[in-house]
Amino acid sequence: MRIAAVGDLHCHEGGAEVFRYALADINTRADVLVLCGDLTYRGRIAEIEAVIEELAEVMVPVIAVLGNHAYHEKNQRRFHDLLEDAGIQVLDGESTVLDIRGHSVGFTGTKGFAGGFGRRALTDFGEDLWRRFFKAARHEGEKIRHGLAQLDSELKIVVLHYAPVTDTLTGEDPQIYPFLGGSELGAAIDDGGADLALHGHAHFGREAGFTPGGVPVRNVSHSLVNQAYRLFEVDWPRK
Ligand SMILES: [Fe+2]
Ligand SMILES: [Fe+2]
């Protein structure tokens, strides 16, 4: 199974013809395109319309999550609807199963959230503001846990914007790790079991890592993969 994946396109108003050109070969190279959030620069409607325009010739199924930039001008709901109207499936805790050459491939995804990692992660303690922050991070983890529980497919892929582990943050300033993702996401992936987790958001991180439970994690931030998308070949599980 060939998954094309990219995040953080950060498309400006008016679009960037470069994406359309660079995505032209995707129909023959990949079975599915996964978009890991931050499709736009400022979260403007004109920007997401440009993204949709850029994707017009992609004929393989497209699965997306939104990133934090989609929220900046409070257009996240519109983004969701415009993308879905264009035939792009936007995951926010839902799960979906594609039939790819006779095999079932399940996807679940959500934006995710910040909160930090391991012993340094934010806890449910103190001022209400911090506790709401913690609950928002936990809620994103619960979406993944729930989404994975719904899947009974041969392969299970988790799609995120925020990072579930620190492995793929290496290269970023460690002081911003807590704002780039959180352990709640990694723990949910391990609890539910998955074959691959994809994320973006960490523009200057590293591509490859693992959850504590050994699930491969890939950061597909556009600046990092340094091409239109990263192509993954995932083996079908042996029956
Ligand atoms: Fe980004
Ligand atoms: Fe982001």
Structure tokens at 145: 């846990």
Ligand 1 centroid from CA 16, angstroms: 16
22 or 90, which is more confident: 90
Total domains, the chain: 1
Ligand 2 centroid from CA 59, angstroms: 26
Residue 57 lies in a domain: yes
Largest CA distance in the chain: 53
Encode pLDDT of 103-160 as tens digits. 999 999 999 999 999 999 999 999 999 999 999 999 999 999 999 999 999 999 999 9
Instruction: Tell me the one-letter amino acid at 169.
Output: L
Residue 118 lies in a domain: yes
Ligand 1 centroid from CA 37, angstroms: 7
Q: What is the CATH number of the domain that holds 177?
A: 3.60.21.10
25: domain range?
Answer: 2-233
- Ligand whose nearest atom lies closest to the CA of 66: 2
Check residue 15 and give its pLDDT.
66
Residue 153 lies in a domain: yes
Residue 217 lies in a domain: yes
Ligand 2 centroid from CA 140, angstroms: 15
Assessment of whether the complete model's pTM goes beyond 0.75: yes
Ligand 2 centroid from CA 71, angstroms: 10
- Ligand whose nearest atom lies closest to the CA of 70: 2
Residue 239 lies in a domain: no
- CA gap 126, 132 in Å, rounded: 10
Residue 238 lies in a domain: no
Instruction: Tell me the one-letter amino acid at 180.
Output: L
What DSSP line would sit under 168-219, residue for residue?
GGBTB-GGGHHHHBBHHHHHHHHHH--SEEEE---TTS-SEEE-TT--EEEE
Distance of CA 127 to the CA centre of its chain: 30
Residue 195 lies in a domain: yes
Structure tokens at 17: 């013809």
Q: Please check the confidence at residue 238 and state whether its pLDDT lies above 80.
A: no
Encode pLDDT of 54-75 as tens digits. 999 999 999 999 999 999 999 9
Residue 209 lies in a domain: yes
